[in-house]
Amino acid sequence: YETKLKVGTYNIMLTKEGYAPIKKKIIVDPGFNIQINEKLITLKQSALINTKKIYKNSIGIELKLFDPIRITIGSKASEKRRQRNEVLKNIFIDRHFYVSTTLITENDYKKIYNQYTKSSEFPVVNIDWNSAAIYCNMLSKSEDLTEFYKINSVNNVIGYNKKSTGYRMLSEAEWEYIASLKNGKTIYPWGNEASVPTNIGNLAGEESKDKFQYYIKNYNDNIVKLSEVKSFDANQNKIYDIAGNVSEWVHDFYSEDFFTSENGELYNYMGPNFGNSHVIKGSNYQSSNRTELGISYREGQIDASSLIGF
């Protein structure tokens, strides 16, 4: 495109539908040609460039940005610690998403849910899945974001808005993604070896042998019950308490239908469309066996528990 301009200073903008505009200031002198070469980028590319990789939200929760990924969740039949409900599924997560770097604490919960009386840096527990979903919606509303969960007049979740950019619980696939090492899916949060590394998390170690029936021999974290968030090092993805402390609710309904997508691919899979219970992921402070310590470990749960947070 060519044009003639009078001598002077101009603010110009290069635009194209679907692309981020570029603004420039130029000075036109007599007798000189000015050539402008710029490469437009899409609106999505522009948004990602200008998006913070880590930020704190309105109530101080730290969130980290994760990239799209192709991941196989579940476990192979040859994996010794495997349960039969850990069916392999190939999933393509085609969007970026933020994850809180710690479990939601009692302080985080109280800031949004005023009726809650406890206040500490311990993870909030004894919260059922429905209450966790309501909390997500309340947090979305406080920041003028579209609410993810659809809730009826008696405060029960009856569906969700997949296009929402508001807060929600992680999907099972997203949880396995953030729990794995950076170089790919592993059997355990620390790698593929069954032996538990020193100080990996709040698990049932030697300190628990007089309290619980089972414990991990030659492992000691010096904490018998709950620990405050950030009491142990974050994993390679900078997420805390992936191993131990409390297990976590995720978004998905729990199912044992043994449906597999091993030979295909599911896009942004968020579990079955209905069910009676929801998936819990991860180990907790009573965990000691290889099954529960594995990333693919999953169980269905309906009721709140002192061993489950989100």
Stated pTM of the model: 0.86
pLDDT for residue 184 is more than 80: no
| Residue bearing the bigger pLDDT, 182 or 273 | 273
pLDDT at 181: 86
The CA distance from 246 to 227, in Å, is 9
Query: Average pLDDT of 156-177?
Result: 95
State the residue for tokens 């993870």: 123
Judge contact between 90 and 171, C-beta under 8 A. Answer: no
Take residue 199 and report the two structure tokens written for it: 């100080």
The CA distance from 185 to 192, in Å, is 9
Amino acid making up residue 201: G
Judge contact between 295 and 176, C-beta under 8 A. Answer: yes
Confidence of residue 293 (pLDDT cuts 50, 70, 90): very high
The CA distance from 200 to 189, in Å, is 9
pLDDT for residue 32 is more than 90: no
pLDDT at 88: 92
CB atoms within 10 A of CB 247: 26
Judge contact between 147 and 166, C-beta under 8 A. Answer: yes
pLDDT at 262: 72
- Closest C-alpha among 265, 118, 288 to residue 213: 288
Amino acid making up residue 25: K
CB atoms within 10 A of CB 218: 9
pLDDT for residue 139 is more than 80: yes
Tens digit of each residue's pLDDT (9 = 90 or more) over 219-258: 999 999 999 999 999 999 999 999 999 999 999 999 987 6
The CA distance from 74 to 296, in Å, is 5
pLDDT at 8: 92
Sequence-separated (6 or more) residues with CB below 8 Å from residue 296: 73, 74, 75, 79, 82, 86, 176, 187
Confidence of residue 3 (pLDDT cuts 50, 70, 90): confident
Tens digit of each residue's pLDDT (9 = 90 or more) over 276-288: 999 999 999 999 9
Average pLDDT, the chain: 93
Query: Average pLDDT of 190-196?
Result: 93
Sequence-separated (6 or more) residues with CB below 8 Å from residue 141: 147
Judged on CB neighbours under 10 Å (0-12, 13-18, 19+), 28 is middle
The span from the first CA to the last CA of the chain, in angstroms, equals 55
